Each structure stands twice: as C-alpha cells, then as structure tokens.
Amino acid sequence: MCGIVGYIGTKEKKSVILGGLKELEYRGYDSAGLAVMTDNCGCGSDIAYFKAVGKLENLEKKTANFTSKGFGVAIGHTRWATHGKPTEINAHPHFGEYSFVTHNGIIENYKELKEYLEKQGVKFISQTDTEVVVHMFEYLNRSEKDPFIAFEKTIAKLVGSFAILIITKAAPDKIFFAKNAVPLIVGKSDEDEIIFSSSDAPLIGLAKEAIYLEDGMYGVAQMGEVKIYQQKKLITCTPQLLPADKSYAQKEGYRFFMEKEIYEQSQVASETLMGRIKYNKINLEEINSQIFDDIDEIVLCACGTSYHAALAASYLFERIAKIRAKVETASEFRYRDPVLNKNSLFVVISQSGETADTLEALKIAKNAGLKTLAICNVDNSSIVRLAGNVLLTRAGIEKGVASTKAFATQVLTLWMVVLYIAQIRKTIDEETLHSEIKALLHIPQVLNIPDGLHEKIHRMSKHYLHGHGFFFIGRDIFYPLALEGALKLKEISYLHAEGYASGEMKHGPIALVDEGLFTVALLPQNVLYEKTKSNVEEIAARDGYVLTLSPLEFELSDDFIKTSKQNHAMSEFFEMMVALQLLALEISIRLGNDVDMPRNLAKSVTVE
C-alpha cells in the first residue's frame, strides 16, 4: 500500500521526507518520489522534485546533491502500483504547472474527470488516476483564484478513496490535505512544524501528539496551524498521544503483522472492488474481455493458500458462470505432462507473483498457446510480467508469512471474474446478477470484526493447546475454507491439522476421532446445512471435541462460534474465514510462537 508524508518547517526537508518514507517502507512500494518547495534564492518560491523506481536508496541517490535551507514545505510518497506500471512517470508526486500532489487510494471516477479536463486542453503524462487531482486543482484555481476554494471544490469532485497532499506555488507556505477511506495523520511539533503521514511511525520523535483524521475531513496547514474542515465547516479535533515505540507503530498497535492484516481485510476488500463495479455491472477494464471468447474451460493453478482460493472459485465458476473449472497444484502440474486444451483459460493465482512452481506452470501454459490470466497482489512481479492478462488483488503488502488478507482479496477477485463471465454469457438472469453484485459489495462490511469475537476466540483458544490434532471440515466452498483454516493453524501453531470435505469423514478419517481430536466444523446456513450437520453429529457421537461455526445453535458442540445470519453463502464464507484466522492466531500466540515468521517457512517461495 502506498505511503504518504508531508512536512512544513525549517529542518532540511529532503531528509525529513526521506526519513518519513523509510518508516513507511513496511507498507510495501515499488517506486518513490518527493517534492520540496523552497525559497533558496530569495527570489520567490520554487519546487524541486525527484522520483525513482524501486527502493528508497534509488531516490536517496537521485537527491544526494540536493538540500533545502530555511523554511519550506515538502511532500513525499511511496507508491504501490494500482493504475499504471511502476515507472518514474507514474510515481508521485504528480504535477501540473505550479502544484504537486501525492495520493494514496484510488480515484474511481478519474476517467470521467480526465476526459473533461482533456476537453479543456489539459495534457496528461502518466497512466495514473492521481494526476487528475492536480490538474483539476489548477483548472479550478484559474477561475476561483483562491487555492483553498479550488482544493475544496476538487475534493468534492472525487469519488473513491484518498489521502491527498497538495503543495502549490499559489500558496507556497501551505499544504492542502484531504482524507477519505485511507489513513492520514497530522502532528505538530514543539517548534510548530507540521508533519503528515499515512501512519504514526514517521511522526514519532518529531511530534508528541497527532490528529487521526476521519473520513470526509480536509483542510489546510501552515507553520503552527492546521485548519480542519468537514462538510465545509471548520471543526476542532482532539489530538491523541503518539506511541513511543516505532515498531509498535508500524504494526499500528497490533501485536503481529498477521493480526493487523486480519483487521485490514475490510478496507482492502473495498480497494479490491473499487472501480470494478459500475452501474450494477462488473467492469474489469484491466483485462481484455475477448479472453473469454471461445473458452470452454477454466484451469486454475496455484500453491498453498492461493490454491485454496482457486478451489473455492472453481465451485463458483461451474455454478454461476456454467463453465468447467479444473484446479491444479502448480508443483504437480509442472511435471505431469498435462494435456492442455487450447480452449482453456489458464488462471494463475499468487500473492507474491514470484512462486517458482506457479511461474513455471504459467510458462508451460503460455508456451502451449493458452490464454492466460494472473490474479496477483504484486505489480511488476514475474508472474504479472509474464501473464497475458492481469487482475491485481490490491491487498497491499502482506508481511505475515501466513497469508490472510491476500486470500480474502483473491477469492473476491475470482468471484468478480466468475460474475463477469456470467454477465457476458448471460448464464444468470439480471436479477440474480444484481443480487450477486449486492452480496459482493456487502463483503467489506462482513469483514469488519464484530465486538467481542476476538476476545471470545482468545478465551476459547486455551482449550486447543493439547490433543493429537485437528480436523477442519466443510462442504462445497466451505471445504476449501476448511483446508485454509487447517493450513493457517499448522503454519503458525505447528499443531497437526487437516482439512476434509465433511462427506469424506466416514471414508477413513473418522477412525482418528476420539476425545483428543479437535474438529472445527463449518456449518453455514446457506449451503448443505443438514448434510454437514449429520457429519458433525457422527463426530460428536464418537466423543470428538467439536468447535462449530454456524449462525444456528448446535447443541452437540463443545465450543460454539455464532456467526451472523447472512442471506448469501459467500458472506458466511468470509465471516467464517475471519474466525478461523483469529483462532490460528490466538492458538499460536498462546504457544509462544513467532506468528509473523513461523519456523521453516518463507513469505515468497522462489525455489521449487
């Protein structure tokens, strides 16, 4: 996810901005940039800017001979590409004739705004959604002749998520800022300097307190003063004490990155959906819709958690898009001389985009002349570069080795592809399509963790520290979710856990059931409730210890997590997913394990 920093004061601006961006490195990025406004020569303000692709060291090298003395304002940015490749031109800050902008988030209606501005003669140079902000600001300032009003009007035109900072020669001592659905914090030092950032880490050491801006807030800052507005009214916000520990701040108060990433899922799911649903239709502009012409099969190929996302999606491809779907483990696919059908669309799913087995499988499919699509979280990764078409999952950097938010966004993206095909091929009627889209848009809400759930799971987790293993069971899409729940638990707790299709229990696994075996049963209301329930009863009858996740009370459970009544199976899927992630997390913490860096595992498996 992008990072944003701003500064008003008399310290050396470049160093402050680079220092702040360093603190935001943990968010992940593929290019960086900064702009500094100074009055070095005493003959009026001037803005110097620098951009570099790759690590911050590259930006440091580019700015090595640049310093700024005295008072000035500056903004900086680390970019995680969403619209347009990670190039210098697409890196922030973006500029107009006399102003510079940095932005986190996605401007959903940038195409409409860009078209309008182009008709007014404005020239764009980047492929980003952000550039529209600075041009709109300057365009409006031409008539308004008041940069604050021009900024206010610009913000009012934006649809989407944004944390925005603008500096402009039209108001050389100020930073204009706005926040909606993306974090933005502002602090004031004892020397009246003003510091903006996406998270509190860059502020620590410079300011003691900060204001955590809320959605819809915007304003203007100058030395010693921050004016915050909401709905055109000047408001007063109470600053909060900043944490003293930077690594704690990077985790934004959570104990582990995995925990933070579980809590981020609602927000990143909104980013995944953003701009991809318009007027009640799925709108995947990033891919060529012709890739679905003449396709009679989808082959989904991945490893680990990404494989589970693929498996879950395979049910949806067949049920909703009425297209045959096959799921391949990439490491097996590579060496089994697969017979490939030219009418297959080969879809690889990967968080990192660097998994060796998945990459090699993609090469095989490409060489065989198949159309290819990558569902990936990291732009410019090897898989993204190789695939014919790409959909980025937009989960932001995932630091915890145990994948959580990447999985959620993979399933969400695949579900959108399913609906896109269904829409093109009319395999479902309009009414069903609309209710599917409604359900899709509801997922960010489902991913909000309800009050008390985490605490309940924390308390419950002490029941699961002994015994001889775990079964996770479910049917239909809840079978891949059971596999994922078991994988999460084994990765970070080192306890033995297996996922099974509930109906398979009596074909062998049930022989292991006794009072020392824990079964985590996924019992959704919307999918084969009675059938799964009778499988769980069979386990309870053999004295197995059962934890049930269900919206309906189940008296035979030893432990019970009551999920909400949802009218769509996918809502139940995502709600149970969060509970399984928290269960794995809490058991691992109780066992004293390093949640973020479990033994024997690497975040990116670039060897086979």
The binding site for ligand M6R (CB under 6 A) comprises 303-306, 350-352, 355, 358, 401-403, 491, 601, 604-605
**C-beta closer to ligand M6R: residue 355 or 461:** 355
**C-beta closer to ligand M6R: residue 374 or 477:** 374
Active-site amino acid positions:
2, 603
Q: Which of 81, 24, 399, 13 is nearest to 198 (CA)?
A: 24
Residue 585 CB, nearest distance to ligand M6R (Å)? 12
**C-beta closer to ligand M6R: residue 155 or 486:** 486
Task: List, in sequence order, every residue forming a beta bridge with 345; answer none if it has no partner.
Answer: 298, 371
Q: Which of 349, 298, 338 is nearest to 321 (CA)?
A: 298
Q: How far is CA 288 from CA 333, 363, 478, in A?
A: 26, 20, 31
Could you tell me which residues come within 8 angstroms of residue 21 by beta carbon, excluding any fewer than 6 positions away? 3, 5, 32, 34, 56, 59, 76, 77, 78, 202
Residue 301 CB, nearest distance to ligand M6R (Å)? 10
Under 8 Å between Cβ of 206 and 255: no
**C-beta closer to ligand M6R: residue 298 or 301:** 301
State the residue for tokens 């987790």.
461
Q: How far is CA 490 from CA 183, 229, 262, 485, 584, in A?
A: 33, 49, 17, 9, 8
Task: List, in sequence order, every residue forming a beta bridge with 469; answer none if it has no partner.
Answer: 517
Residue 391 CB, nearest distance to ligand M6R (Å)? 14
Q: What are phi and psi of 599, to 5 degrees?
A: -60, 150
**C-beta closer to ligand M6R: residue 491 or 559:** 491
**C-beta closer to ligand M6R: residue 147 or 400:** 400
| Residue least distant from ligand M6R (Cβ) | 304
Residue 308 CB, nearest distance to ligand M6R (Å)? 8
Residue 347 CB, nearest distance to ligand M6R (Å)? 13
Task: Give me the sheet containing 209-212, strands edge to edge.
Answer: 46-53, 31-38, 72-79, 3-9, 194-197, 185-188, 209-212, 240-241
Under 8 Å between Cβ of 301 and 328: yes
Residue type, 205: G
Residue 456 CB, nearest distance to ligand M6R (Å)? 24
**C-beta closer to ligand M6R: residue 468 or 496:** 496
- Measured between alpha carbons, how far apart are the two ends of the chain, in Å? 28
Under 8 Å between Cβ of 203 and 242: yes
Q: Which of 396, 518, 528 is nearest to 461 (CA)?
A: 518
State the residue for tokens 């002349």.
369
Residue 367 CB, nearest distance to ligand M6R (Å)? 20
